[in-house]
Structure 1
Amino acid sequence: MSADKQSRRIIWAVAIGNGLITYDFTVYSFSAVIIGKLFFPSGSLLVSLLLSLATFGVGFIMRPLGALLIGNLADRKGRKAGLTLSITLMTLGTGIIAFTPSYASIGWAAPLLMVLARLMQGFAAGGEIGVSTAALMELADKGRRCYLTSWRGTGQGLAALAGALIGACTTALLTSEDMQLWGWRIPFILGMLIGPVGWYLRRQMTERPTQATYRPSLKSMFTQHPRALWFGILSMAGPSASAYIMVFYMPTYLVTVLHLPPIFSLLCACLASTVIFLGTPLLGAISDRQPRRKPIQYLLLTGCILLVYPAFLALTHGVGEIASLLIIMGYVALALTNTGPSSVMMLEAFARHHRATGISIIYGLGVATFGGFSPFIVTWLIGVTGNPMAPAWYLLATLCISLFALIRFPDTVHED
């Protein structure tokens, strides 16, 4: 098989696996209200929604463990081994969500199975993102690293778009009764069918040979790269919170807080995903033309800090549907198209034999700490304070943390 054909196969294998994670998170967030009613019944719609969002977030508890174990597996046994394990676990978790009966049918077993599925998916996602990012960067020469690595984010944007479109179609075509009875399961069943395709492609991957004979350990990784690890984790604060609030939580926010139509909220998610899908590889290509990785990230982070408060102020004051779409699209373009340069900057800070583990820990802990529970946190804050501006304050805090971490992140570049 030619090198170009093998490279394309690896890109597809990575994109499909990462896409499955994003797709499942997207359709779960869109179904959060229904899942709350069916699996976490209570006397309060707010409590049911909070329990549903907490279950969405509970998978992130397992991300650091998945990052450690799957990332270290990929550094010891190869990227293929880590990627195959992660997509297998992710597909199984999606299947459990798709076919678990409701609380009315099997009682407490229903929410327990839902939590188990999210834990399984969280473990898989913890290793998936870091290992796949390392695999993509190692395909490219130095002049194309940001562009090629950006395809992980591009695949996630396309998957989020697919999830939003399927959610919009089922919402438009089915009655609310049918959606609650069985329609909400359709997107999960479709997602479960994607998994075997990605598994097959990953099983057919060939690894790039390495000359290293060093067997990496977790202890050596922590002692050799502490600054890259800790400031890398902190740098994930703004992007993680932005992704889970502006893409995954935004449909719920628009419907339950701003009282906009469900179809409009799903359209917003579709357009946000399209911006990520189109903007991520474009920014990656632009970043490859720059001599350093940090300047373009300073520009984007500063723009987000300046925009986030006025954006939510306008949304909460009812600027209209078209203006709301433009505001959200603008913020997403600044906050969520930076996958290429940010990932490459972090990957280059680690030696190759620590690269998959290091980037997995950064993503696993960073997203778990700042992103996964952000929908729950802002929903709770809105419920307690009655202030619909709570997401803006949370995002502003995380963006400032990311800016501080970017300033402190090491400029050391480890070549293969």
Structure 2
Amino acid sequence: MISQANSNAAEAPQRLLDARDYKTLALSALGGTLEFYDFVIYVFFATVLSALFFPVDMPDWLRQLQTFGIFAAGYLARPLGGIVIAHFGDRLGRKRMFSLSIFLMAAPTLVIGLLPTYAAIGVAAPLLLLAMRILQGAAIGGEMPGAWVFVAEHVPSQRYGLGVGTLTAGITGGILLGSLVAVAINAHFSAEQIHDHAWRIPFILGGVFGLVSVYLRRFLHETPVFKELAQRRRQDAELPIKTVLRDHRGAALYVGLLTWVLSAAIVVVVLYTPTYLQKVHHVPATLALQANCLATLTLTLGCILVGWATDRFGTRAVMLVGWAGLFASSYLFYTSLPGNSASLVWQYGLVGLFVGTIATVPIAGVRAFPAAVRFSGLSFAYNMSYAIFGGLTPIVLTVWLQRAPLAPAHYVGAVAILGALLALLPLAHRGHGMREAAAGATMPR
């Protein structure tokens, strides 16, 4: 079967990205940017939200812990939303669920921007905030795997890495957009104005942007791989998730461990560190957010670079170099804090560049599962792992920091080593022909 797949791959016409591919990439990446912005904007205003949605007489560290607990709830809701959306994505088509997920994100984001605070309605305020975060988590649980599968099944196989890397860059662009909005809010409004009303602006904007993205996704087309599956009637009566748990446990474990590495890189370096800089090293909020903007920009560029490099040099080599670079650059950054403004900014930017290695996670993860259960398999493994590690990481670090100021460096360093070890396993080296996988074959590469 392997030799036959290799023969088919050799006979398949090698094409470059065409206008339809670029349209798919652009609309998918834009939608991912806006949806991930909606999900992460919360963390950029965590300090403000902790003061507004909890009692004023509560200790600051406890308010911060509860605020990050609500942040974690969004991650804990991801598996359920991801499994349900992925189930119908494997059954009814990628495009329908791809559009639904962003609508389910936009509405709660808009509601958060309109919520009354603790001073107005008491304990109902944090409970409503928690409910909206749960809905956001369910939506993002279907969006991320769905976006990767959608693009992976559209682009030509020899541009597979670049396509998935570009989409991942678009998704991380949502973090950059959130960081830029946070910088703008802090630059144009005083602390009193932000606490009074300006904190609502980024959430209301996110809700409106999300609804625009729902409309734009109407112009996308169903993936050719799903059309082939429908024509061949490959989907049977069995639940896709049941097939994953019975026949693809190894792939699910592998993707889950890769996701742990991804979650540490994103949650610690990009989302948690601005608050860490302000709370532990007393870096001014404006400087912390400006440095974070640069790091997120280099992360976005890094994802594209990593995607291109995997097509040229192979996934394994890129993973080994990228995770080793993350290990070294993260220790350089965290051990040099607070430093001066220039060193903080450029070292943070260097770490962000190596965080771009996270693009190898969907590159390896999408092709780990056959097409008939690809959406469900990737979604289950990715979201279960992110719920555990991504959701609990800010809480663990908040407690760990009471004993070890370098807790973020130790955590990122440990998972970078894990990423390098995972690069040595066979699944990191598997071929990426989406149509070959649709026919049931996988090619070693």
Please state which band the TM-score falls in when normalised by the shorter chain. over 0.9
Deviations 1:242-290 (A, max 9, x none): 1111111111111111101111011011101211222221221122112
Letter in 2 for 1:183: A
Give 2:443's aligned residue.
Answer: none
Does 1:351 find its partner at 2:351? no
Give 1:94's aligned residue.
Answer: 109
Does 1:177 find its partner at 2:198? no
Deviations 1:98-132 (A, max 9, x none): 11110111112111110011100111111110011
Letter in 2 for 1:228: A
Q: Which runs of 5+ in 1 are unaligned?
A: none
Q: Is the 8 A contact 1:238 1:401 kept in 2?
A: yes
C-alpha deviation, 1:87, in angstroms: 0.6
Give distance in 2, aligned partners of 1:110 and 1:25. Answer: 19
172-181 or 35-44, larger mean C-alpha shift: 35-44
Give distance in 1, aligned partners of 2:30 and 2:88. Answer: 20
Give 1:236's aligned residue.
Answer: 259
Give 2:166's aligned residue.
Answer: 151
Give distance in 2, aligned partners of 1:71 and 1:87. Answer: 14
Give distance in 1, aligned partners of 2:54 and 2:423. Answer: 40
C-alpha deviation, 1:5, in angstroms: 4.6
Deviations 1:268-324 (A, max 9, x none): 11101211222221221122112x321210111122233433431112xx3212112
Q: Is the 8 A contact 2:35 2:105 kept in 1?
A: yes
Letter in 1 for 2:349: M
Please give the TM-score of this superposition, normalised by the length of structure 1: 0.93
Q: Is the 8 A contact 2:38 2:106 kept in 1?
A: no
Give distance in 2, aligned partners of 1:100 and 1:393. Answer: 37
Give 1:302's aligned residue.
Answer: 324
301-310 or 81-90, larger mean C-alpha shift: 301-310
Give 1:388's aligned residue.
Answer: 405
Q: Is the 8 A contact 1:243 1:336 kept in 2?
A: no
RMSD: 1.8
Give distance in 1, aligned partners of 2:346 and 2:381. Answer: 31
Report the secondary structure of 1:236's partner residue.
helix
C-alpha deviation, 1:173, in angstroms: 1.1
Identity %: 30
Displacement over 6 Å in runs of 4+: none
Give 2:203's aligned residue.
Answer: 188
Give 1:103's aligned residue.
Answer: 118
Deviations 1:134-165 (A, max 9, x none): 11011111110011111222112322222111
Q: How does 1:9-408 map to 2 (within 5 A)?
A: 9-41=23-55, 42-207=57-222, 208=224, 209-210=227-228, 211-215=231-235, 217-290=240-313, 292-315=314-337, 318-339=338-359, 341-382=360-401, 384-385=402-403, 387-408=404-425
Letter in 2 for 1:196: L
C-alpha deviation, 1:46, in angstroms: 1.1
Give 2:11's aligned residue.
Answer: none
Give distance in 2, aligned partners of 1:285 and 1:399. Answer: 21
**How many residues are matched?**
408
Deviations 1:324-360 (A, max 9, x none): 2222211221123441x43222212211111111221
Report the secondary structure of 1:327's partner residue.
helix
Q: Is the 8 A contact 1:131 1:357 kept in 2?
A: no
Q: Which runs of 5+ in 2 are unaligned?
A: 1-16, 439-445
C-alpha deviation, 1:95, in angstroms: 1.3
Change (3 A) 1:269 1:212: farther
70-79 or 343-352, larger mean C-alpha shift: 343-352
Give distance in 2, aligned partners of 1:19 and 1:49. Answer: 27
